[in-house]
Structure 1
């Protein structure tokens, strides 16, 4: 049985991922939502799939909204593919980074997507989010208010990582329940059915990634955490992680699997 490793989630300095505190710490450290570990991927990557999905609905007169745009790197992918692109995020540090070098066709604003949005009715042809707030939950009217009739909304959500990672590094990573993928599917099925959108696509899919070094296992785990906690994790875990990593790595790196949910809907 593999050795039980140090569990950073039990340390008092652990910040729950995707909370306001976690995003604030990440923005302070790096200025944006950027993955710091080194890895390579089997193609197509999830981000490439999502980019192609969004691009299929763009045209020269389209107005586009990126909800939860982070530091704006992904938003800028669509420069010159639409008339106007707007990126919003609640984190001021992310938006400050996004506005650096932004062109006239792209605007970034500090906006809390859980509150009334500063846009006119029927403002956008395409609304998308990559791991950000979904504006079309049951009971939420703002998304339906600002999207044009017949407009398209898309969402891409990271739903966890495994591919053996959680069994190789117990304690450091927690196991998923046997019903994990079924639970994810049910969650997004419910979300789509309650959204009052015409469903175009719902897909749960895998993305294969190869971590290049033992340190990348720890960097991935401690993404967004404070430096004080990272130092403790390195001291407690690095030697064991190195031993396990080199026992199981492939010529490309340690193979892990990222799960993603893709949603595409059309406003009625």
Structure 2
């Protein structure tokens, strides 16, 4: 039986991922949504799949909104392909970093809380998308529907967890997925699309293969966005055993894991 590792999620200092506190801590420690672990991927990566999908809906007359843009690296991919690209995020540190790096007048970055009224005119955007950020088209919210044009395209990419054997190798550190986990993920996002009131709605659940380069990357991936104090505790409690298991199971490219993603696309009425 595999060793049961220390579970950092049970520690009182654990910060729930994807919360405002979690994003704020990332901004302080890394300046943005920047992965601290080293790895390589089988191509195409999830972000490339998403970028290519977005690109099919834009031209030189397109106005785009990136909701939860972080430091703006992904947003800037479309700077010279669209008329205007606006990235918004609630974390001031992210937007400051994005504005320091931006090139060209077609891209704007603004501090905006996506849960409140948006500072844009009605029917302003042709494309609204989010990469792991807030979904503007949830039931009960009208702001996303207000700012997008009729017939405009809505897209979302969401990370749905990592496994590929990772959870069996490091029990406690990584908890096993429930039975029929991906079926439950599919149902969740199908419901989200249904409640969004979009037409021609499409959902794809897909895998992205990643190879973690070093034993400590197993811990970096788990503790992404956590405090330095909690990270030090996890390293002290887990690293030696993680190193042994990593050496036993790594391929020449690193330890193979699988990231699951949900890609949603729909058209505004």
Measure how far apart 1:199 and its partner are: 2.5
Residue 44 of structure 1 pairs with residue 33 of structure 2: no
| CA–CA separation in structure 1 for the residues paired with 2:18 and 2:151 | 31
Measure how far apart 1:200 and its partner are: 4.0
Residue 54 of structure 2 corresponds to which residue in structure 1?
A: 54
Residue 159 of structure 1 corresponds to which residue in structure 2?
A: 160
Residue 185 of structure 2 corresponds to which residue in structure 1?
A: 184
TM value normalised by structure 1: 0.98
Unaligned ranges ≥5, structure 2: none
Number of residue pairs aligned between Structure 1 and Structure 2: 268
Deviation string 1:29-69 (CA, Å, 9 cap, x unpaired) is 11110111000111111000000000001100110000000
- Aligned partner of residue 194 in structure 1, secondary structure: helix
- Aligned partner of residue 148 in structure 1, secondary structure: strand
Residue 145 of structure 2 corresponds to which residue in structure 1?
A: 144
- Aligned partner of residue 119 in structure 1, secondary structure: coil
- Aligned partner of residue 160 in structure 1, secondary structure: strand
Q: Which 4+ runs in 1 deviate beyond 3 A?
A: none
Determine if contact 2:15/2:22 at 8 Å carries over to the other structure.
yes
Q: What RMSD, in angstroms, separates the aligned Cα atoms of the two structures?
A: 0.8
Determine if contact 1:148/1:267 at 8 Å carries over to the other structure.
yes
Residue 7 of structure 2 corresponds to which residue in structure 1?
A: 7
Determine if contact 1:38/1:216 at 8 Å carries over to the other structure.
yes
Determine if contact 1:192/1:199 at 8 Å carries over to the other structure.
no
- Aligned partner of residue 100 in structure 1, secondary structure: helix
- Aligned partner of residue 99 in structure 1, secondary structure: helix
Residue 68 of structure 1 pairs with residue 68 of structure 2: yes
Residue 216 of structure 2 corresponds to which residue in structure 1?
A: 215
| CA–CA separation in structure 1 for the residues paired with 2:86 and 2:124 | 11
Measure how far apart 1:107 and its partner are: 0.5
Unaligned ranges ≥5, structure 1: none
| CA–CA separation in structure 2 for the residues paired with 1:224 and 1:139 | 30
- Aligned partner of residue 243 in structure 2, secondary structure: helix
- Aligned partner of residue 100 in structure 2, secondary structure: coil
Measure how far apart 1:182 and its partner are: 0.5
